[in-house]
Chain A
């Protein structure tokens, strides 16, 4: 084995020695950086440029030389509505439905996610029996693949699923949860919160454990009630961590796709179609493949995500500065 490695090193050594002799020590550093720069350029920078080019060009052709320049037409098509509050009046009604669905989803999902994570973190930070076990239980869904999460809940909620079987056993009328637009939306939020809550709980738990014990001891000496202690000590000291959690959950919420797509396929109708699914279906699953429209929608999404990321960076920096 060592001999094989030596042989490989010997082969690599020849061009390296030659390059170092020709370029000198300062320039050889760039040679070492080059593979990473090339990979970053190809897989991160180039797609961004291509995305912008696609957004400014039309037709269903994938090759750039077959596409025609249309300027901001794709953005205008996305934005054209008689009444923006009624998606049916929009040229791309499915885009607006996806926008509204995403807005509702993010608002409700992030609210529940942060609230429940906070409660769970506080409970898990207390002196409860089998604390380690419960910490693992809440974190376990985070380890599951989104498709597995979706399939588990689909089996529970489908017409002949576990929930309906249970309801039937208790004499209740079974209900087709995933055929009802409102219920499908509510269950999508539930599934998403269930799958990711453990991650945010863990961050908040770390934040809670970082609060100095002596502050609580002082509150105890002042006979502060538990609620007052929470409101005056825990919450303010946990706030920086809370904001980071809130922003991370917001970014993740806007990006929601895989688990809900595997869960409901965006249905019934377009009740659980979110913005990423719209982009995917417009660009790849539908016919004709409207790459330009999909690229334009993804640029709009990127602007929202960049905004949220900048806020998050600023908050994190402020927190680090003290």
Chain B
């Protein structure tokens, strides 16, 4: 080995050792994030501020598709290779992996401000842990194209209007204006759960066991299937895809091809940006049924995972976002409905929000009081996502004619029983 080679060999060895040492010393918090709007970017900015005040902490954000949160994250967590924290929506399904923040945070502050949603991430009624917070509260409900109503000369149904009344009015508007779709609902078991509950569906039996299908549930599903068949509902949304894949109808609404769009509060920003001044739209919430006028609550939760090597750093970071000022800033910038009761009580300053957005968010805030307790229980149930998927699969099969609605409901019942047997109650 000549002198020159020896020098290069030494340099190569030194580089390898430096790289190895560097990777071993890294103390990053990995955060997996997926969002419809600017939630990930806003969190990144807040994290950057936290990092400045806490030089020992470095947050690495992995922005992924929502599908990765639903499909990849559970497998990663089960295999022990998940991130340190993430923005999740399947609270019940992932609850067993959540890091309990109680030792590191002011439990009283958390219980006072997040009391309504904390239970969603708990494993059962005896669990009093604090596992993270809802970074927003979402509510399902409807938007209407008000301009189309005006053009058609059809009166907008009132606050207590039923699903049938909305269907009739939407059909009239579509007919008068030549719009192809009177109504549309996102292809999601979560979205259709609100109308079913309003129709009287109990979802659970008296002992608290999940049943999903009862007479009011089947009744609304039958109505929904018929609306898809007779053209009241945009069939493309539910029948245009297979399996349990999610599909929304926002683009149809944005393109003014839809009169009544049942989705949720998280669409406000997207609609405002895409529609602009093209037409007037407004939030009308959830139509009424015999039992309620309820949508479904939901939202993403910022949670830590107990497999993290830095539990204290993760807990402190989540706690930082949970503080009133930071939380209000986040909600203001992302234009969401707050899940933090203190922030909700004081009202949020929606940064640079247009008049439309401010009005829409006010509309969504007014829907909170109408949410049925069943809706809260269903959303917080650990197998809720399973039941949502079963609903989507079976109702779609009835829409496309693979089975009758009665057969679909019978299959849905069997699916729930089998799923609970596999996953546990």
B-binding residues in A (CB < 8 A): 3-4, 6-8, 10-11, 58-63, 88, 91, 93-94, 97, 159, 176, 178-179, 181, 264-273, 277, 281, 284-290
As a 0/1 sequence over residues 42 to 84 of chain B, the CB contacts with chain A under 8 angstroms (1 = contact) are 0000000000000000000000000000010011001100000
Is the beta-carbon distance between A176 and B236 smaller than 8 angstroms?
A: yes
CB-CB < 8 A to B402: which residues of A?
97, 181, 269-271
- C-alpha spacing A285/B70, complex, angstroms: 8
Task: Tell me the complex Cα distance, A94–B75, Å.
Answer: 23
Q: Are A268 and B396 in contact (CB under 8 A)?
A: yes
CB interface residues, B 356-384, toward A, < 8 Å = 383
Please tell me if the beta carbons of A284 and B397 are within 8 angstroms of each other in the complex. no
Interface assignment of B342: CB less than 8 Å from any CB of chain A: no
Residue total for B at the interface (Cβ-Cβ under 8 A): 43
Interface residues of B in 402-425 (CB under 8 A from A): 402-403, 407, 411, 414, 418-419, 422-423
- Residue from B5, B401, B407 with most neighbouring chain A CB atoms (10 Å): B5
Q: In the complex, are the beta carbons of B422 and A267 less than 8 A apart?
A: no
Q: CB of B400 within 8 A of chain A? A: yes
CA distance A281 to B419 in the complex (A): 14
A7 to B239 alpha-carbon distance, docked (Å): 62
Q: Which residue of B lies closest to A94 (CB)?
A: B393
Indicate whether B347 reaches chain A with its CB closer than 8 angstroms: no
Is B385 in the interface zone, CB < 8 Å from A? yes
Structural contact, A288 and B383, CB atoms closer than 8 A: yes
Secondary structure dominating the interface of B? helix
Q: List 8 additional A-B contacts (Cβ < 8 Å) besides A63-B78, A266-B241, A290-B422.
A: A3-B4, A6-B8, A94-B393, A265-B243, A267-B239, A267-B243, A269-B402, A287-B90
A58-B422, A93-B411 known; A267-B12 Cβ under 8 A: no
CB neighbours of B240 from chain A (8 A): 178-179, 267-268
Question: Given the known A-B contacts A268-B400, A270-B397, A286-B389, are A10 and B243 also in contact in the complex, defined by CB atoms under 8 Å?
Answer: no
CB neighbours of A11 from chain B (8 A): 9, 12-13
User: Separation in Å of the A276 CB from the closest CB of chain B?
Assistant: 12
A265–B422 CB distance below 8 A: no
Q: How far apart are the CA atoms of A271 and B9 in the complex, in Å? A: 62
Answer yes or no: B399 CB below 8 A from chain A CBs. Answer: yes
A179 touches B13 (CB 8 A): no
Nearest chain-A residue to B399 (Cβ)? Answer: A269
CB pair A265 B241 closer than 8 Å = yes
Smallest Cβ-Cβ distance to B385: which chain A residue: A287
Please indicate the chain A residues that have their CB under 8 angstroms from the CB of B5 in the complex. 3, 6-7, 10
Taking A264-B241, A267-B239 as contacts, is the C-beta distance between A63 and B79 under 8 angstroms?
yes
Q: Does B102 interact with chain A (Cβ within 8 Å)? A: no
Chain B, residue nearest A270 (CB): B242
Are B12 and A159 in contact (CB-based, < 8 A)? no
B interface with A by C-beta (< 8 Å): 1, 4-5, 8-9, 11-13, 71, 74-75, 78-79, 90, 93, 235-236, 239-245, 383, 385-386, 389, 393, 396-397, 399-403, 407, 411, 414, 418-419, 422-423
User: Are B11 and A7 closer than 8 Å at their CB atoms?
Assistant: yes
**Judging by beta carbons under 8 Å apart, are A289 and B399 in contact?**
no
CA of A8 to CA of B13, assembled, Å: 9
6 contacts between A and B (CB under 8 A): A3-B5, A7-B9, A10-B9, A287-B90, A287-B385, A288-B419
Residues in A with CB closer than 8 Å to B93 are 287
Beta-carbon contact of A288 and B423 below 8 Å = yes
Residues of B within 8 A of A61 (CB): 78
Residues of A within 8 A of B422 (CB): 58-60, 288, 290
Q: Which residues in A have their C-beta under 8 angstroms from that of B1?
A: 10
Given contacts A3-B8, A7-B5, A62-B75, contact A265 B386 (CB under 8 A): no
Q: Min CB distance, B79 to chain A, in Å?
A: 6
**B242 A265 Cβ-Cβ under 8 A:** yes
Q: What separation, in Å, do the CA atoms of A289 and B235 have in the docked complex?
A: 29
Selected contact of A281 from candidates B243, B383, B411, CB within 8 Å: B243
Docked-complex contact A266 and B243, CB < 8 angstroms: yes
Contact A88 B78 (CB under 8 A): no
Chain B residues whose CB sits within 8 angstroms of the CB of A270 once the complex forms: 242-243, 397, 402
A285 touches which one: B241, B244, B383 (CB < 8 A)? B244
Q: B75–A284 contact, CB under 8 A?
A: yes
Interface centre among A60, A88, A176, A268 (most CB of B within 10 A): A268
In the assembled complex, which residues on chain B have CB atoms less than 8 Å from the CB atom of A8? Answer: 12
Q: Which residues of A contact B74 (CB under 8 A)?
A: 289
Q: Could you tell me the distance in whole angstroms from the C-beta of A165 to the nearest C-beta in chain B?
A: 15
Considering the complex, give the chain B residue whose CB is closest to the CB of A61: B78
Complex formed: what's the CA distance from A63 to B93 in Å? 16
User: CA separation between A7 and B11, bound complex, in Å?
Assistant: 9
Whether A285 pairs with B242 at a CB distance below 8 angstroms is no
User: Which B residues touch A62, using CB under 8 A?
Assistant: 75, 78-79
Given A60-B422, A61-B78, answer yes or no on A269-B400 (Cβ-Cβ < 8 Å). yes
Contact B386 A181 (CB under 8 A): no
Which of A7, A181, A269, A290 is packed against the most chain B CB atoms within 10 Å? A269
- B400 with A267: CB separation less than 8 A: yes
- Residue among A60, A94, A265, A267 facing the most chain B CB atoms (10 A cut-off): A267
Contacts of A93 in B (CB 8 A): 411
Query: What are the residues of chain A within 8 A of B236 when measuring CB–CB?
Result: 159, 176, 179
Q: A4–B244 Cα gap in the complex (Å)?
A: 54
Cross-chain contact B239 with A269 (CB below 8 angstroms): yes
Q: Assess whether A60 is in contact with B403, with CB atoms less than 8 Å apart.
A: no
Complex Cα distance, B5 from A10, in Å, reads 8
List of 3 A-B pairs having minimum Cβ-Cβ separation, nearest first:
A266-B242, A267-B242, A7-B8
Residues of A contacting B11 in the complex (Cβ-Cβ under 8 angstroms): 7
Give the chain A neighbours of B400 by CB distance below 8 A: 179, 181, 267-269, 271
For A284, the chain B residues whose CB sits under 8 A away are 71, 75
Nearest CB in chain B to that of A264: its residue: B242
Min C-beta distance of A256 to chain B, whole Å? 14
Assess whether A265 is in contact with B245, with CB atoms less than 8 Å apart. yes
For residue B109, give the distance in angstroms from its CB to the closest CB of chain A: 33
A269 to B408, CA, bound (A): 12
Which chain A residues border B78 with CB–CB below 8 Å?
Answer: 61-63
Interface centre among A62, A181, A264, by most chain B C-beta atoms within 10 angstroms, is: A62
Instruction: Tell whether, in the assembled complex, residue A269 and residue B245 are in contact, meaning their CB atoms are under 8 Å apart.
Output: no
Chain B contacts for A178, CB-based, 8 A: 240
Q: How far is the CA of A288 from the CA of B420 in the complex (A)?
A: 8
Q: What's the Cα separation between A7 and B71 when bound, in Å?
A: 45
